[in-house]
Amino acid sequence: MKATTCLSIILLPVIIALGGCDNNDSHTTSNTSVTLVNLNLLHGFDCDSPDTDTQQCRIRERIALLAEHLIAEGCPDLVTLQEVINSDFAPTSQGQPVESILALIVAELPNLAAACGFDYRIVYEPLLAVAISEIDEELILSRYPVLQTGTRILYGPLYNEVTGALIFARHVLHARIDHPSGEVDVYNTHLASGSDFATSICDGDSCPIECNRGDTVRACQAEQLILYVEQTRDSENLALIAGDFNAVPNSTEYLAMTNHGWLDSHLAAGEAECNSTTGIGCTSGRNSRLDAIESPALNVRRRIDYIFFALPPDNNVCNSSRQSGEQRTIEGAYEIESAGLFAGDPNPFAKTCGSAPSPVCWLSNHSGNQVRLVCGR
């Protein structure tokens, strides 16, 4: 299939199309699996001191490696990324501006198009395109057309929802996708960590109405996320909720989601829980310094990155067959076919990896997730 060279970027609320788009993505395929990859990219602006590393843990090489991993994964329908820097800026700890990860991803899209045979659409919300908030934005890549988008700022001590005063805020990015199996609502988020007071108590007048006084900041964010999904999701659609939740299994935040009926794709597919001793099945724990990104050692010990999915109430609304030139569809039910880690091994495309000039070992200080759901008859 001849790859196209167009680029569609959805910068909410405006859709910008560059070039002539002919994605050949009309719903004429009998492949009605829904595939998604999720990864916290590691912005890398504080990777090492500015005297020793001004390359954000070799960010250019890591974005090129991301493309290789996505191609090896079969070019998933959807990709959710966190810690996307949206413009050049200079943190106070750096002597010079760090690079725009968004620009690097855009530059990699033609290589993906050539290998995948289609153009990814970018859904990106520079909602907080001021000051330090640029360091942690969410981004969605979609193979299929984007029907609707939205975003929600989440509670945090560094953002005042009443006055709008902002230093830094977490948020949720939403996109509704016109997938061959039926519309899919995709959500991408990154909940608070210790750096923005995740375990501080939500109290006083600033505590949002949807949260309970006494909740932690991150627990409050989880409740807001659940409410936002329920308010914006079409109940007849499959919903995929992915991101870096900074919460381990059976934590308050994790249980709020699973008690709400969301399924943890990793466990739903029969994958073993994270083994903190061996690192198998884990996604986080590798430090964010250059030496860890260049070391082939696994160095992960927690599972805090997830792809949750919520099925339609009836779960009998996906299209298991849609043929070219025909309107006929055969309804089926979503089933999980596989799930697990994404980029969970050191650079598999190089004989060796390590410090420069050797290829970099890891995409990030996180390992990612992947899931495949199929519409069975």
CA distances from 56 to 11, 46, 171, 175, 231 (A): 24, 7, 23, 29, 37
pLDDT value of residue 136: 78
What are the tens digits of pLDDT across the range 192-212? 998 778 888 887 677 888 888
Q: Averaged over 289-294, what is the pLDDT?
A: 93
d(CA 104, CA 137): 14
Residues 327-352, mean pLDDT to the nearest whole number: 86
Both tokens of 48, joined, read 């090492």
Tallying the residues shown for the chain, one arrives at 377
* 50 pLDDT above the threshold of 80: no
Answer whether CATH 3.30.390.30 is correct for domain 7-17+31-376.
Answer: no
Q: How far apart are the first and last CA of the chain?
A: 29
Residue 57 has pLDDT above 60, yes or no: yes
Tokens of 178: 């016109």
Q: Is 222 or 129 the better-scoring residue by pLDDT?
A: 222
What are the distances in angstroms from CA 35 to CA 45, 70, 77, 233, 369? 30, 11, 5, 19, 11
**pLDDT tens readout for residues 136-180:** 789 999 999 999 999 998 988 776 555 555 667 788 999 999 999
Q: Spell out a b/e string for 42-66, using b for 16 or more CB atoms within 10 Å of the CB, else e.
A: bbbbbbbebeebbbbbbbebbbbbb
370 confidence band (pLDDT: 50, 70, 90): very high
Which has more confidence, 111 or 327? 111
* Burial class of residue 164, CB neighbours in 10 A (0-12, 13-18, 19+): exposed
Would you state the pLDDT for residue 86? 76
- What percent of the chain has pLDDT above 70? 77
The order of strands in the sheet holding 368-376 is 14-18, 7-11, 121-124, 137-142, 78-84, 34-40, 368-376, 329-342, 318-322
Is pLDDT of 338 > 70? yes
Distance CA 279, CA 282 (A): 5
Is the pLDDT at 97 greater than 70? The verdict is: no
- Poorest-pLDDT segment among 19-33, 116-130, 271-285: 19-33
Of residues 5, 1, 33, 27, the one with CA closest to residue 18? 5
Instruction: Check: CB of residue 275 under 8 Å from CB of residue 281.
Output: yes
Average pLDDT, stretch 95-119? 90
Q: Could you give the CA distance from residue 300 to residue 341 in angstroms, rounded to a whole number?
A: 12
The mean-pLDDT minimum among 5-14, 330-339, 368-377 falls in 5-14
Residues 184/201, Cβ–Cβ less than 8 Å: no
Alpha carbon separation from 348 to 47, 65, 156, 345, 374 (Å, rounded)? 23, 10, 39, 7, 27
**In the predicted structure, residue 278 carries a pLDDT above the cut 60:** yes
pLDDT digits (tens, 9 = 90+) for 105-116: 999 999 999 999
